[in-house]
Amino acid sequence: ELKVEQNPLFLSMQEGKNYTIYCNYSTTSDRLYWYRQDPGKSLESLFVLLSNGAVKQEGRLMASLDTKARLSTLHITAAVHDLSATYFCAVNFDSNYQLIWGAGTKLIIKP
Amino acid sequence: DTAVSQTPKYLVTQMGNDKSIKCEQNLGHDTMYWYKQDSKKFLKIMFSYNNKELIINETVPNRFSPKSPDKAHLNLHINSLELGDSAVYFCASSSSPGLARDEQFFGPGTRLTVL
């Protein structure tokens, strides 16, 4: 069964702290996507990770992909309140049209 | 210059009614999708079309019927609406999978409330 699991599902943290969201998936893939969703808004593409060892960074967010471990991480450095959102990872298995989505991680950053 | 647009943004209707949601993309993509997002934020793929051909047809009630008049448009028609249909429906589009930039771009969503 194709599965994508995120943890934690909920994270409350203080501004200035670092933290990591994990995305595990069940079988081989080399295409993984991270999205952000603000409350009441649409989903916005953050990162596209296409190969083992891929690392992408945008501001305080950094995403990486380890295809051997079937694991992607989204690392938040020195969190600020504006990063509060729900973060989703999604995996494309076998270059299929269908993405398998994680359940999302709701991140709350307190000033 | 909106990339993926949906109408309406909000839809409030009575049980048993029939309604449609329209989606258009101007990104030149050849694949479009409909998703349902429930109150717990879980995203469920419903349908996907590639160049007007249905390629994903997940297990959804047959009261839901997609229609793609051309590759830039994908509409969703829902018959005999039920309370459980209340959700946010997102349209998305992408280029063909396997290309370097094949991520899905999402529309603003349609919040459907069935009373």
pLDDT in tens, B14-36: 999 999 999 999 999 999 999 99
Q: Does residue B3 sit at the A interface (CB-CB below 8 Å)?
A: no
Q: Does residue B50 sit at the A interface (CB-CB below 8 Å)?
A: yes
| Whole-number average pLDDT of chain A | 93
Question: Which tokens go with A28?
Answer: 């081989």
> Which whole number is the average pLDDT over A55-64?
96
> Which whole number is the average pLDDT over B38-59?
90
The phi and psi torsions of A88 (rounded to 5 degrees) equal -115, 140
Q: Does residue A12 sit at the B interface (CB-CB below 8 Å)?
A: no
Where residue A38 sits, what CATH number does that domain have? 2.60.40.10
- Check: CB of residue B33 under 8 Å from CB of residue B56: yes
- Check: CB of residue B109 under 8 Å from CB of residue B9: yes
B61-83 tens-digit pLDDT: 999 999 999 999 999 999 999 99
Where residue B37 sits, what CATH number does that domain have? 2.60.40.10
Q: Does residue A48 sit at the B interface (CB-CB below 8 Å)?
A: yes
Across the interface, do B106 and A43 touch by the CB < 8 Å criterion? Answer: yes
Q: From the candidates B103, B105, B113, which should be mutated to test the interface with A, based on the most A CB atoms within 10 A?
A: B103
Closest CA to A40 of B2, B76, B32, B39: B39
A6 Cβ contact list (under 8 Å, min separation 6): A21, A22, A23, A24, A87, A88, A89, A102, A103, A104, A105
Question: Which tokens go with B33?
Answer: 């999708």
Residue B46 domain-assigned (yes or no): yes
- The larger pLDDT score, comparing residue B42 to residue B101, is at B42
Number of structural domains (chain A) is: 1
Q: Does residue A92 sit at the B interface (CB-CB below 8 Å)?
A: yes
Across the interface, do B41 and A104 touch by the CB < 8 Å criterion? Answer: yes
Q: Does residue B110 sit at the A interface (CB-CB below 8 Å)?
A: no
Residue B44 domain-assigned (yes or no): yes
Give the range of the structural domain holding residue B50, as residue numbers without chain letter: 4-97+107-114
Across the interface, do A42 and B107 touch by the CB < 8 Å criterion? Answer: yes
Beta bridge partners of A87: A36, A105
Residue A26 domain-assigned (yes or no): yes
Residue A40 domain-assigned (yes or no): yes
User: What's the CA gap between B52 and A75, in Å, rounded?
Assistant: 39
Residue B102 domain-assigned (yes or no): no
Place of tokens 């008049």: B69
User: What's the CA gap between A64 and A55, in Å, rounded?
Assistant: 4
| Whole-number average pLDDT of chain B | 93
Across the interface, do B97 and A97 touch by the CB < 8 Å criterion? Answer: yes
Helix, strand or coil for residue B85? helix
> Which whole number is the average pLDDT over A4-32?
94
**Which of chain A's residues have a Cβ under 8 Å away from the Cβ of B45?**
98-99
Number of structural domains (chain B) is: 1
A82-97 tens-digit pLDDT: 999 999 999 988 766 7
Q: Smallest CA–CA separation between B17 and chain A, in Å? A: 25
